[in-house]
Amino acid sequence: MATEFLMPKLGLTMEEGTILEWLVDDGATVQPGTPVLRIETDKVESDVEAVASGRLHRMADVGSTHTCGAVIAVLLADGEDAPSASTASATPAVSTAAAATNTTPEPAVDRRPAASISSDGRLLASPNARRVAAELGIDLDSVVGTGPGGRIVSEDVEEAATRPRPTRPSPAPTTRRTGDSSVLATAAARQLADLLGIDIAIVAPDASDGRVTRDGVAAHVRQLLASPRPAQPAETAPLPGAMQTPSATKRMSGMRGTIAKRMHSSLQQMAQLTLTMDATMDAVVADRESRKSRGNVPGFTDYVIAACARALREHGIVNSQVTDDGIALLPEVHVGMAVALDEGLVVPVVRNADRLDLQTLATETKRLATAARSGSLALADLEGGTFSVSALGMFGVDAFTPVINPPNTAIMGVGRLREDVVVDGKKVATRTRMTLSLTWDHRVFDGAPAAQFAQTVCRLLESPAQLDD
């Protein structure tokens, strides 16, 4: 009997994978444990091994992207024939080529996977998906969820908004003149039309009472967006420099595309604010000097990670995530550290960072940074972060606005070390200082708790001996 070869789910946050390379020829016989293909997730590249023996029959091409659990190949037993083309085409791939062939979608209500409904009958949809649905006037019951476990995400709602919807014919223009006060419309419809610059007189009214509704305006806008736009006449005398031929174009795919998508989503879904606070680092500088004879001296960012980890124990609200049920306070502290690569940014995680002394923490951060730059990070190294630290001080940056790494609710930015002149009593002295930039989700906690957390981090940096407790 044939064994289905599925796109694996390598981690809790993995939703889909892209096939980078088939490592075994089509028709070759494989055994359990044989590396069969290499895939790219939104975090890492990974080889996928066979879990059974059989003759490999590929059903997906290199470069195609598939949801976790999709059938991408089968392992055939002796004498078995390959599945028919119609069976192969049923594989739920999300590649561009597959999507292009689906020109006549079935009604969305019939395509909804049962997983979109929880065991208690609750519709599974992210908070952002609900917000986008409300703004676009989309009924979530008509949307197919593609997120983990069939959850509806904002991209599903936006895709549903682009599909054609039945529209009613507009009344004759002689009875619905632009700006005519005789046009019957709800206040919400007029407000939305004014905001979008839409002539409410050309929007089809609701059949039940003859009034233009807010949903009617939204449907009209979606129809305009879905319709092909007429070609614009070329400018007769374009301004010098108005158009340039690019020297090169880089596709926003792979790691860069994932970063773009996640950071944009982060800023859309959270109410992010940033505060800055100066930490006096004289004690840290002295502590580093005293450690040089012992080798593997912690970096300044290591001290900040250690201070943040211990501060998270005191300020549990910062070590949290937003869920459908509310604000989840997390019992363990796992701090992500941003590592810059040529192709983008990865955030490996120092697990249980609050329990590590400085020397152990420095050893772990060095291991993670080396693995990140060599491309050998394991998926486990990238999952489970509850807070993040991002440093730009090595580039001479004092302060900046770091963007929260979802699903965290805060991130700390680390600036450069500098010498400040201060007045101590009646004496002028210098102090080594560093500016810390804390970005937090204002939905979860307010400015005072954010400032108190930053104060605790600064206090710990002024007494680095506490970081070995």
Same domain, 12 and 59: yes
Residue 260, φ and ψ in degrees, nearest 5: -60, -45
pLDDT score at 276: 97
Same domain, 206 and 64: no
**Which tens digits make up the pLDDT trace of 20-58?**
889 989 888 988 888 989 887 766 777 888 888 888 899
CATH number for the domain spanning 213: value is 4.10.320
> Which among 337, 263, 258 has a CA at the least distance from the CA of 42?
258
**Which tens digits make up the pLDDT trace of 249-274?**
777 766 667 777 778 888 888 999 99
pLDDT score at 213: 85
Residue 102: pLDDT above 50?
no
As a whole number, the mean pLDDT across the chain is: 80
Contact 156, 146 (CB under 8 A): yes
Same domain, 324 and 360: yes
Specify if 358 maps to a domain. yes
Residue recorded with tokens 């957390």: 453
Picking from 71, 101, 131, the residue at the C-terminal end of a domain is 101
- Give me the domain span that covers residue 213: 187-225
Specify if 250 maps to a domain. no
Instruction: Tell which wins on pLDDT, 178 or 287.
Output: 287
Amino acid at 10: L
Band of residue 228 on the pLDDT scale cut at 50, 70, 90 = low
Same domain, 292 and 441: yes
Picking from 79, 101, 123, the residue at the C-terminal end of a domain is 101
- CA distances to 137, 278, 462, 468 from 433, in Å: 51, 6, 10, 21
**Which tens digits make up the pLDDT trace of 184-222?**
878 777 777 776 667 778 888 887 777 888 788 878 877
Specify if 399 maps to a domain. yes
Same domain, 209 and 327: no
Same domain, 149 and 296: no
- What's the length of the chain? 469
Beta bridge partners of 412: 389, 438
Picking from 48, 83, 101, the residue at the C-terminal end of a domain is 101
CATH number for the domain spanning 73: value is 2.40.50.100
Same domain, 92 and 114: no
Dig out the tokens for 344 from the structure.
């983008």
The number of distinct structural domains making up the chain is 4
Same domain, 199 and 311: no
Specify if 247 maps to a domain. no
Residue 109: pLDDT above 50?
no
Specify if 28 maps to a domain. yes
Specify if 193 maps to a domain. yes
Residue 385: pLDDT above 60?
yes
3-state SS string over 305-346?
HHHHHHHHHHCHHHCEEEECCEEEECCCCCEEECEEECCEEE
pLDDT score at 293: 83
Residue 363: pLDDT above 90?
yes
Specify if 252 maps to a domain. no
Same domain, 331 and 387: yes
Instruction: Tell which wins on pLDDT, 443 or 469.
Output: 443
Residue 91: pLDDT above 70?
no
Instruction: Tell which wins on pLDDT, 393 or 143.
Output: 393
Specify if 215 maps to a domain. yes
CATH number for the domain spanning 145: value is 4.10.320.10
Same domain, 89 and 124: no
Same domain, 83 and 125: no
Residue 71, φ and ψ in degrees, nearest 5: -80, 115
Residue 93: pLDDT above 50?
no
> Which among 464, 444, 443 has a CA at the least distance from the CA of 361?
464
Same domain, 439 and 384: yes
Burial of residue 245, with CB atoms counted within 10 A of its CB: 0-12 exposed, 13-18 middle, 19 or more buried: exposed
